[in-house]
Structure 1
Amino acid sequence: MDPSEGPSEQIPACLGATGWLAPGEARGPPLPALEDEEGPRLPEGLPPVVDAHVHLFPDRVFEAIWRWFDRYGWPIRYKLHTPQVLSFLLSRGVHRVVALHYAHKPGMARFLNTYMAEVVRAEPRVLGLATVLPGEAGAEDILAEAFAAGLKGVKLHCHVQCFAPDAPALHEVYAACARAKKPLVLHAGREPSSPHYACDVHALCSAERVERVLQDHPDLRLCIPHLGADEFDAYARLLERHDNLWLDTTMALAGYFPTTPPRRLLEVRPERILYGTDFPNLPYAWDRELRRLLELRLGDEVEAGILGQNALHLFEGC
């Protein structure tokens, strides 16, 4: 991709959904903003907080994503470009940020990965991940270059990139991550879905397909965002069975969607749960997810792990 061309207007957003709905239920207009109160910074006395799900893109890609959200998803409360995203979170007490992006067409990944590597060099508190489009020519080389540039893993998105998690094109990506000992964050849950994606995500995504990946690639460290929404019970069982699986909380605990994950999902293997937000593409306060998490009173040790330690173990091995 020639960066001067900017992104296509058809770039879908990470969560371009109109909510979790029952089968056959009609989807309405974009969801509303909550206009809830936000805190000035993180509460005092917390252990180090790592937001393990923050999106960073070049300006024109961000702006295309926001236009998509405005039309199909929800009002974005924080339309901030990368420097402002990092200043916002870090100045409010967030210790580290795991930064994610994704390529929606061939030829885009190298440009995005170069951008992310530059962000990481400028701000060492950012743990930047690479991306690639599964099946594109030179995918393994693209990832090798990104890892050599200091990126800490890979982000893929089944909904945006239109692939099933167990598709053959993924095997070279999984193998490359396993060889390099780099984790992979894969949006492979069925929700939030949208009729405005270019594929039927319920036909592509399922916990059963993710389990095939875990079985076929036992050396791959795989993180599924949004607690695997909406198959929460199935992902709790996968956590029990597989030592190469992690989940992040992104938007699943905030009370924005009508379905609440069972507490058991956080307690079955709490060392495999990461706190994440989806900042800046939120329709509510930046700290809403964290406040809801703290209200569960999971205990100091579990909270310390979920809020930061588990992410550092996964992405930095420390």
Structure 2
Amino acid sequence: MTRFDRLRRMAEVWTRPRAPETLPVALGRQRVYVLPTRFGLFFAVLVFAMGLGALNYNNNPALLLALLLAGTAMASLITAHLQLSGLVIDTVSAEPVPAGEFLSLRLRASARDLRLRRGLKVGYEDATAMLSLDQGSEAALSLPTERRGWLDLDRIRISTLRPLGLATAWAWVWPEQALLVYPAPETHGPPLPTDVSDSGVARLNPAGDDVHHLRSYRRGDPQRAVAWKPSARRDTLLVREYEQPRSAEVILDWQRLGPLAYEHRIRRLAHWIDQAERENRRYQLRLPGQPVLGPAQGSTHRHACLRALALLPHVDAA
């Protein structure tokens, strides 16, 4: 690493925010920093040499060209600063993924003015993405995940080399928002447990299979449900009420996984939750010290169960 790279690295460290901040965050001019690139330094030396030679030989056209190039360089510095000044980071979000998979971090931005901003670079650790407010205001970064629970975000760097690449302008954002990482499910786990509840119970359902009883017609009942022959005999409209057998509800109990290790239990339960969803089975999750979740089924219930598993204390932190 050269001395120039070390100085630029130190400048970036000094300009980072010291604490997480609540979104949305506006990047004011006091938060945007500009430094010349290597190409910018070479350009400055070239223009200085051109101007010095023009003065030495009293060459007015060469001096005019040197001044025009110097003015263009100064204008590019201001333009690079304006690319970030006034930018607003609105939200940072991501859909939870199992630990070990890449999490797609979405950063949404807007602008306080009508200036077009193109070629903005969003960087987080080793991940980078491009952001242009005239082609959609969202950038997506792929972040690796290692363990379940909350993933605390570090500082996000937004930079640009436009318009001429003579200078780099950058600003930092440190969202206080944490992202959720689900536990990794057990691979090649066993089938669902045989412990069930409410086995064989039926519930009333207009789209069921078996006729349960006849009742009086109510406004809004479908015409196909009207029992015409019984209605004619009783001289009043009667409607067939059907019943649908309810599938058995699976019980996923933490206490019944005693022989397994702590983290292995979590992975086993995560595997069973995904399997129950694939088989369209209703299930309930029982964890120590927490209220029973379910019985239910669907994306909302799945998220609640996996969230409860993800936020269980880690063994090394207990």
TM-score (norm 2): 0.20
Q: Which has the higher contact order (CA 8 A, sep 6+)?
A: 1
- Point out the structure with the larger helix share: 1
